[in-house]
Amino acid sequence: MTSDALPEHDPRFDSVDAVRDRLRSVDYLSDEGIAGIVYLADRLGKPILVEGPAGTGKTQLAKSVAEITGARLIRLQCYEGLDESKALYEWNYKKQLLRIQASRNEADSASWDDIEDDIFSDEFLLTRPLLEAIRAEDPVVLLIDEVDRVEVETEALLLEILSDYQVSIPELGTITARQIPLVFLTSNNTRELSEALKRRCLYLHVDYPDMEREKEIVLTKVPGVSETLADEIARIVRSIRQLELKKSPSVSETIDWARTLVLLGVDHVDTETAVATTNILLKYQSDIAKATKELTAEPAGVKRPGAPGAPAR
Amino acid sequence: MSDTVIDPVADDDGGDPVAGDALVDLLNGFIVELREAGLPVSLTEHLDAMEAVRFIPLDDRSAFKYALAATLVKNHAHWRAFETVFEVYFSLRGAEYAIDPDAELAELPEDVESGDARDGAGQAPANAGSGEALTPEELAQMLYQALLQGDDAMMRAMARQAVRRYAGMEPGRPVGGTYYLYRTMRNLDLDGMLEQMMQQSREDAPEPLTPLEERLEHDEYENRINQFKQEVEAEIRRRLVADRGVEAMAKTLRKPLPEDIDFMHASRKEMISLRKALQPLTRRLAVRLARKRRHGRKGPLDFRNTVRHSLSYGGVPAEPKFRYPRPAKPEIFVIADISGSVAAFARFTLHLVHAIASQFSRVRSFVFIDGIDEVTRFFEGTEDIVEAVHRVNTEADVVWVDGHSDYGHAFEVFWQKWGTEVGPKTTVIILGDARNNYHASQSWVIKEIRHRARHVYWLNPEPRAYWDTGDSIVGEYGVHCDGTFECRNLRQLEGFVDHLV
Ligand SMILES: Nc1ncnc2c1ncn2[C@@H]1O[C@H](COP(=O)(O)OP(=O)(O)O)[C@@H](O)[C@H]1O
Ligand SMILES: [Mg+2]
């Protein structure tokens, strides 16, 4: 198993509840699953792959964990076409050339071997996020954000780091981490990640929060929002998410909506207000139309047949 | 004995060795069940799970569940299957989950025992447990209050009471959980309670409820009722497991993975998970197919071209050139039966084929019942395949006489209207169970189509064993096709599409 050769570290958290409380102290509202897996990742020294719809707090989780552990956040933002030279390291060619030229003038004293040793040394290495995280002396959290955006082939770059916390550089040898950083990979699930990558990670699916948690998020994130308003907002969002939409409102959209309502001085969301502001929650015209229709419809389909208070048979 | 056993759980630091050994066995058994359910669990993941449970104890049931899921389930679509296996496998492990009538009494919240229910006890002395003492009216009343107040503990207690009272579960009786669920629910009139709660909300409100408020109240109560239903299901499951054992129950309750759900017999819930699974599947497929095309097979050495190129290297054939076979992208005709039982299959296939339409030079779709209509227009110029498929179902003109499948007539009309448009680059895919209601087959049409087309394939959503029984005449058409494929689930459908490109 992987952990044998790696340096031991003191656990960062005492219990699952401790993770939850500390996250709450930096305004991140987790649930049992999220907190449990962060705790486990620390104990097992394994990366976490966080998958789920956009705007559900995946990136924020990594940031918040960095904050509560007093670690520096190192972020690798993925995009199509990302390669080794941007993710891991690159040799500083310009500087190398200058060095070679300079040596010519040095009256031929240095042999080529010396020069080669010299130009492939640390001084000429440009460190990119992955290598930076491995070499860090201080505590770090490594965030590999939106990993689903790189090509499958590029995933291979990550495998060595994720299983052994080391990087092999042909000219320098293998560089091993001095400490096991907490590593988060996020994915908006626009494509399936490779099995090899998934096998190395703990898997956390984050979905839209339940109503209670979303209400809490609104209360912590939106200054000036009242308890009743937060409650209404969370309920309406829950109802809207039950509709079949092209894109359900995300947590960040809920927060935006709540902020707008507070700015407008709203203390109770009536039908008109809801309809007038759904464009903040929903991005597609067809979704807005659908939500408007559903929220304002006389609840004919909602009422059940049968007289009120029909006796239980 | 444990010193000769290599035990990854109970090694050096911290693990309690006794609990460790038992835990290893427990976990091994669990993983066997997961694999039986079709979940791919690798050896690494198995080892990770063993590591994980060193830190998350079994008594913390839900943390334990998340820990196992995090190490063993790497695909969200598999969560439901995992959860079911988990619930069954661990349903009776842990003190609070034991089925013990006395324990249950202790569990009822105070007011159940001390309230009016006491009086009833005298009337039914034959039943020892005090829960039995509630009259049906009292039970209904207490459940109503629990739902109205959203009292979780009380709802759970009521779920247990309701199952004990109404499900009529008897040891050894070979009936499934749904039967007991039905019997329990039949006695509870939850729809009536929902309406009653709505009425209560209307009365409590200072002003008449607006439609928005109605909806929010309704969604809230419905949520609670669903939660209660889940408690009832859980209780039935626990009792079944206690009666029949884990292995037997794991088998009967096993949920198929979305990719294995049968198109023709999917429940509403399963349809939803099928729809969810379709999107990642099409994405995966599109990526794979595009790659296949790009790094396609290298052809034989192109001698001339190599020599021509070598001139620029002073005659050294430095850069060998190969012939790339570039097959023209095929044109696809999909002809789909969209009547009753095969409609879902047609929907998924149309969706899938159009989602990867860029792999083909063109996709044209035709749907029929006893009449036939071209529906290509619904898919062109829109990104929204779901919407297009929906329009196919609602707007296509497919009924000719009575709306019962008539393959023969549909094929004849197809041949008259579009037959000449089938050409040597066309691949024709026919979807349906070929249950022709004893009409004439007109299979000559398929024979003609095959003469003109590049390929003709038939996809049938029925199990192969049912083909050519009753009014199924797939064999009669099949002899004129390049292949007939059983296509009961997404896995088989994906396999076919892979083969197609
Ligand atoms: N559980 C949560 N607690 C607090 N804030 C949250 C939570 N989930 C989401 N948010 C907020 O929603 C916003 C979007 O989150 P983000 O991490 O960028 O989403 P993702 O990375 O999943 O697309 C952030 O501003 C964050 O503050
Ligand atoms: Mg993000």
Q: Show Cβ contacts of residue B33 under 8 Å, excluding neighbours closer than 6 positions.
A: B85, B88, B89, B246, B247, B250
| pLDDT tens readout for residues B40-72 | 999 999 999 999 998 988 888 888 999 999 999
Q: Give the number of A-B residue pairs with CB atoms closer than 8 Å.
A: 131
Nearest CA to ligand 1 atom 9: A57
| Chain B interface includes A49 (CB < 8 A) | yes
CB distance B67–A40 less than 8 Å? Answer: yes
Residue B188: inside a domain, yes or no? yes
Query: Is any atom of ligand 1 closer than 6 Å to the C-beta of A26?
Result: no
In this prediction, residue A295 carries a pLDDT of: 87
Cα gap B418→A148, rounded to integer Å = 43
Chain mean position to CA B448: 38
Question: Which amino acid is residue B27, in one-letter code?
Answer: L
What's the Cα-to-Cα distance from B175 to each of B162, B182, B230, B232, rounded to whole Å?
18, 12, 19, 17
Q: Show Cβ contacts of residue A117 under 8 Å, excluding neighbours closer than 6 positions.
A: none
| Residue A78 backbone zone (phi > 0: left; psi -120 to 50: alpha; other: beta) | beta
Q: What ipTM describes this predicted complex?
A: 0.86
Domain final residue pick, B229, B245, B261:
B245
Token pair in block for residue B65: 């569940």
Residues B119 and B86 placed together within one structural domain of the fold: no
Q: Which ligand is nearest to the CA of A61?
A: 1
Q: Is the model's pLDDT at A100 over the cut of 90?
A: no
Residues B392 and B460 placed together within one structural domain of the fold: yes
Domain residue limits, chain A: 3-80+128-205, 90-119, 211-297
Query: Is any atom of ligand 1 closer than 6 Å to the C-beta of A55?
Result: yes
Residues B131 and B30 placed together within one structural domain of the fold: no
Residue B44 lies in domain:
17-90
- DSSP string across A172-214: TEEEE-SS--EEEEEE--SSPPPHHHHHTSEEEE-----HHHH
Residues B237 and B333 placed together within one structural domain of the fold: no
Question: Which amino acid is residue B171, in one-letter code?
Answer: P
CA distance B400 to chain A (A): 32
Residue B348: inside a domain, yes or no? yes
| Chain A interface includes B276 (CB < 8 A) | no
Does residue A204 contact residue A58 with C-beta atoms inside 8 Å? no
More confident residue, B421 or B179: B421
For B160, the 3-state DSSP assignment is helix
Residues B116 and B229 placed together within one structural domain of the fold: yes
Q: Show Cβ contacts of residue A90 under 8 Å, excluding neighbours closer than 6 positions.
A: A84, A125, A126, A128
Residues B176 and B75 placed together within one structural domain of the fold: no
How far apart are the CA of B264 and the centre of ligand 2, in A?
Answer: 39
Q: Is the model's pLDDT at A160 over the cut of 50?
A: yes
Closest-CA residue to A182 (of A73, A19, A35, A307): A73
Token pair in block for residue A40: 């486990």
Number of Cβ within 10 Å of residue A121's Cβ equals 11
Q: Choose the mutation target among A203, A273, A278, A298 for the interface with B, i.e. most B CBs under 10 Å.
A: A203
Residues B401 and B492 placed together within one structural domain of the fold: yes
Token pair in block for residue A302: 């909602």
A3-80+128-205 maps to CATH 3.40.50.300:
yes
Domain final residue pick, B212, B245, B278:
B245
In this prediction, residue B97 carries a pLDDT of: 52
Residue B71: inside a domain, yes or no? yes
**pTM of structure:** 0.75
| Chain B interface includes A184 (CB < 8 A) | no
Closest-CA residue to B83 (of B195, B266, B300, B230): B230
Cα gap A193→A187, rounded to integer Å = 9
The DSSP letter of residue B380 is: T
Query: Is any atom of ligand 1 closer than 6 Å to the C-beta of A251?
Result: yes
| Chain A interface includes B202 (CB < 8 A) | no
Percent of chain A with pLDDT over 90: 61
CA distance B187 to chain A (A): 6
| Chain B interface includes A192 (CB < 8 A) | yes
B-chain residues near A313 (CB < 8 A):
186-187, 189
Point out the ligand 1 atom lying closest to the alpha carbon of residue A145: 21
Does residue B32 contact residue B6 with C-beta atoms inside 8 Å? no
Pairing mode, strands A125-127 and A89-91:
antiparallel
Domain count across chain B: 3
In DSSP terms, B363 is beta-bridged to: B332
Query: Is any atom of ligand 1 closer than 6 Å to the C-beta of A23?
Result: no
Reduced to 3 DSSP states, what percent helix, strand and coil does chain B have, rounded to the nearest 5? 60, 5, 30
| pLDDT tens readout for residues B125-180 | 334 444 457 888 999 999 999 999 999 999 999 999 999 889 888 777 767 777 88
Residue B255: inside a domain, yes or no? no
CA–CA–CA angle B373, B374, B375 (5° rounding): 110
Residue B191: inside a domain, yes or no? yes
| pLDDT tens readout for residues A29-87 | 999 999 999 999 999 999 999 999 999 999 999 999 999 999 999 999 999 889 888 99
Residues B142 and B73 placed together within one structural domain of the fold: no
Confidence class of residue B314 from pLDDT cuts 50, 70 and 90?
A: low
